[in-house]
Copies of this chain bind each other. A is one copy, B any other.
């Protein structure tokens, strides 16, 4: 009663009457069967040209809009893809989603987005509702997911792909880069500049394999050179400018001796914060210390002195994810693992270690 009542009222909300133009109406106007009308609209090659035109004309006069639900039910195809990202508030994910959407729309698919808030458990919940919604493919960020998430998708045969992370040892399809290796490269670069005292402002590593891999990569390379990244020189904090700023202050404050000469940040936002705080503290960058970011977001080339960072092809990953999923769905061959290139972009925020 309640639901029905609500619906009735909603139905009444429409200014004009509803538009219950259905395929059979189009067929009737065109003087053909519903089957033919369907074919004329969806697989024009299967009907005569005259037929096609006649049906199209009828559809146009009636303002026919197909009902996706009915179509999905009958054809078992929703032509919808889902994406679960941590948050659209991080421009980097927004850009990835934009890349995905653009490509999907060109391929005739719609995009349903859901956010996980960096929580594996919420990711699983969101995924379940997307599956209920009938998405034919799913894009995730990162490779650390609940096992039951994979199980859900695999038992139902729904294609999926991880992005942002590339790990050859991970058995699941993925499009991304090796965060560990990228962080290693950044560290190598800084070592090459003579830095020996390091600090890191990392993202929250829990439920975030990218943040964890970046931290691990830094640690690994330093350890190989006999340098220990002390825990007081590592701060995990959410990705954000203010957070980066605060972390930098904690790291550098009240420590005139043995200060790090290189601060590696988990992403650009944190690095911007570090940069601003360094300026506020009167620390010369890169003279007194170097600061690096990760993502190469739009501001990093502009903010003085220019942020040294790792360029990540976000839109490209979204686009490749779209291609991967649609190819899976449409039965074309796919490569399960695709590695995209990240590029070290050296700008003014990094330089030789002091002394």
Contacts and interface: CB of A to CB of B under 8 A. Distances in A.
Contact of A10 (B67, B154, B272, B329): B329
Interface stretch (A26-34, A204-212, A255-263, A296-304): A296-304
A73 B110 CA distance: 18
Contacts of A128: 65
Contact of A112 (B97, B110, B242, B330): B110
A15 B155 CA distance: 7
Interface string A1-39: 001011111110111111100000000000000000000
A94 B114 CA distance: 12
A231 B75 CA distance: 57
Contacts of A15: 154-155, 157
A341 interface: no
A102 B119 CA distance: 14
A14 B76 CA distance: 15
Contact of A69 (B101, B134, B276): B134
A5 B94 contact: no
A109 to B, nearest CB: 10
Contacts of A304: 276, 279
A284 interface: no
**Range of interface residues on chain A?**
35 or more
Interface string A70-83: 10110011101000
A66 interface: yes
B91 A331 contact: no
Interface string A129-146: 111111000000000000
A49 interface: no
Given A157-B16, A329-B10, A115 B132 contact: no
A273 interface: yes
B95 A88 contact: yes
Given A67-B134, A69-B73, A154 B279 contact: no
B299 A241 contact: yes
A68 interface: yes
Copies of this chain, tallied across the complex: 2
Nearest to A318: B88
Contacts of A13: 157, 159, 328, 331
Contact of A130 (B3, B76, B87, B110): B110
Given A112-B112, A156-B14, A299 B279 contact: no
Nearest to A277: B302
Interface of A: 3, 5-11, 13-19, 43, 63, 65-70, 72-73, 76-78, 80, 87-89, 91, 94-95, 97-98, 101-102, 105, 110-115, 126, 128-134, 154-159, 240-242, 245, 269, 272-273, 276, 279, 298-299, 302-304, 328-331
28 contacts: A3-B43, A5-B331, A6-B330, A13-B328, A13-B331, A14-B154, A14-B157, A14-B158, A15-B155, A16-B155, A65-B132, A67-B132, A67-B134, A69-B73, A69-B134, A70-B73, A80-B112, A88-B94, A88-B95, A88-B97, A97-B113, A101-B115, A110-B133, A241-B298, A241-B302, A269-B298, A276-B303, A279-B304
Closest 9 CB pairs of A and B: A14-B157, A9-B331, A94-B94, A69-B72, A88-B98, A69-B73, A6-B331, A88-B94, A91-B91
